[in-house]
Structure 1
Amino acid sequence: MKLKSLLILSLASFLTISCAKEVSSTEAPIAVNSPNNPTVQLAKSEKSSIKKVDNFVSGEHKTQGTAKIVTKNGKSFLELDKSFKTSNSGPDLVIVLHRSDNVIGSTKPPYYSLKKGDYVLISPLKKFSGDQSYAISDKINLADYKSAVIWCRKFNATFGAAKLSNS
């Protein structure tokens, strides 16, 4: 009896799999119900693309790594890669998008101060090194901004900037 049930279950599984339509990654997820697994996702509809990417140039403090703007399902994110690293000596470090494509070259040492109106605040910096991601508000027109900047808001000091060129 167990063998007969196992054969029927195997045959039903085989027919189900062989008759299933191929699902492309742009289609909506399809859920399959079974007693052991109520919902199994067969495909994801998530679309992503990298819009802009470049390496950090040091300003007030050594800053390294890569910044990129990624769009996932219509939502933009600023992502710092695993090689990202900056100094932990500044209070109130934030990430901003800046209108200039040469923030370090267009500002004066030693602080590389930013002028109000030339940047938009994205978020406080989560950590001083490693990969991290920051959501960018839909209200921000990314075409207006050409650099990602690690900035000490309290002392108006730019730690580093990455030109965001189209990839």
Structure 2
Amino acid sequence: MQLYHSFTNQFHFIVFLGLFSLLLVSCNKKTEEVAPIEIPERLEISPASQSVMIGETVTFTTAFFDNMGNPVASPSDITWESSNLSVASINQDGVASGLSAGQTTIKATYQSVEATALLTVVTSNDEVATVTITPSVSEITLTEMATLGISVKNNLGEEITGKTATWNSGNIELVTVENGEVTAENYGTANVTATVDGIQSSPATIQVIRRGTFTNRGSGTAKLRIENDVLQVVLADDFSTSSSPPDLRIYLSQNNDNVNDAVELANLDSSSGRQIVNVSSEISITDYRYVMIWCKQFGGVYGVADMGE
């Protein structure tokens, strides 16, 4: 009889371990992941704005980003050109030579991908060589404004004071600008430039975004923005939610308590901190009201940010 009880207890213990193991596997198992959205490849030129004296040279370099937005080695067959060959020439190593006073656009091209920078050629160090807008990137909502400033320098990098800029918006349907004061007109991204003594700045990027604060077991900020013509959901540095539930996903939703008719975007990589997710080009920045963190396996909201109507 004692042997029977011992065998029975061992059997129950083994069954318990098996059920417990299955439970652990179930709680940690994730459902099928969503494929990330690919975006257009892009080039960037550095420096974005440069100056040089007549007869001197300056070298431009490139950075290349793949269709997931990751930096990778720049292709070897990038071609270079100057928009004004009387002002400056450039060879296929990215070395530009100043020929006469003025400003030219330097363009780098790889297949169908292009990037541009500005080169100013001066005759003396008393002239305006570079105009820089600060900040170079501003995010505002439709109810906000941004104030931009300028830094004007000579070829030696010395500040020139007392100059007045002429301001221009590259897309007045999105933002307007007057004396450095930017007003949002619609959602999207527009470039703003400032010109001093005929010398133009590199563009400052103005992003008109939607922004919301997480509630319902989440905290911090979410943003919807358009960058490089791609809609993105951005969980800000201050974002946080519970680290306990498995299989948390990021959604765009019209409801604040479920994911009926919502769009699943990506896995939540971390329960806190910054995360950027690209959104399909078929979705507009105004299509959904909420950014939601949802447990796909078991259901439940672990953060919802109201982006406003």
Q: After superposition, give the CA deviation of every residue in 1:54-87 in whole Å (9 maximum; x if it has no partner).
A: 11012xxx31110001101211100011111111
Q: Distance in 1 between matches of 2:304 and 2:267?
A: 15
Q: Return the TM-score normalized by structure 2.
A: 0.37
Q: Distance in 2 between matches of 1:17 and 1:64?
A: 56
Structure 1 residue 116 and structure 2 residue 260: aligned? yes
1:99 Cα deviation from its structure 2 partner: 0.9
1:115 Cα deviation from its structure 2 partner: 4.7
Classify the secondary structure of the residue corresponding to 2:224: strand
2:249 corresponds in structure 1 to: 94
Provide closer, same or farther for how the CA distance between residues 130 and 17 of structure 1 changes in structure 2, counting only shifts above 3 A: farther
1:131 Cα deviation from its structure 2 partner: 1.1
Partner amino acid, structure 1, of 2:215:
V
Structure 1 residue 66 and structure 2 residue 221: aligned? yes
Structure whose alpha-carbon radius of gyration is higher: 2
Q: Distance in 1 between matches of 2:297 and 2:264?
A: 13
Partner amino acid, structure 2, of 1:156:
G
1:19 Cα deviation from its structure 2 partner: 2.2
Classify the secondary structure of the residue corresponding to 2:286: helix
Provide closer, same or farther for how the CA distance between residues 57 and 29 of structure 1 changes in structure 2, counting only shifts above 3 A: same
1:12 Cα deviation from its structure 2 partner: 1.4
| Count of paired positions | 130
Checking the alignment, whether the CA contact within 8 Å between 1:48 and 1:73 is kept in structure 2 is no
Structure 1 residue 154 and structure 2 residue 197: aligned? no
1:156 Cα deviation from its structure 2 partner: 1.1
2:212 corresponds in structure 1 to: 54
Q: After superposition, give the CA deviation of every residue in 1:31-55 in whole Å (9 maximum; x if it has no partner).
A: 98xxxxxxxxxx9779551421011
User: Aligned runs of 1:1-80 on 2, under 5 Å?
Assistant: 12-13=55-56, 16=98, 19-21=101-103, 28-30=115-117, 47=205, 49-58=207-216, 62-80=217-235
1:139 corresponds in structure 2 to: 282
Q: What is the alpha-carbon root mean square deviation over aligned residues?
A: 3.3
Provide closer, same or farther for how the CA distance between residues 44 and 121 of structure 1 changes in structure 2, counting only shifts above 3 A: farther
Checking the alignment, whether the CA contact within 8 Å between 1:46 and 1:72 is kept in structure 2 is no
Partner amino acid, structure 1, of 2:116:
P
Q: Distance in 1 between matches of 2:248 and 2:306?
A: 19
| Structure 2 portions without partners, runs of 5+ | 1-52, 58-96, 106-113, 120-200
Q: Which has the higher strand share?
A: 2
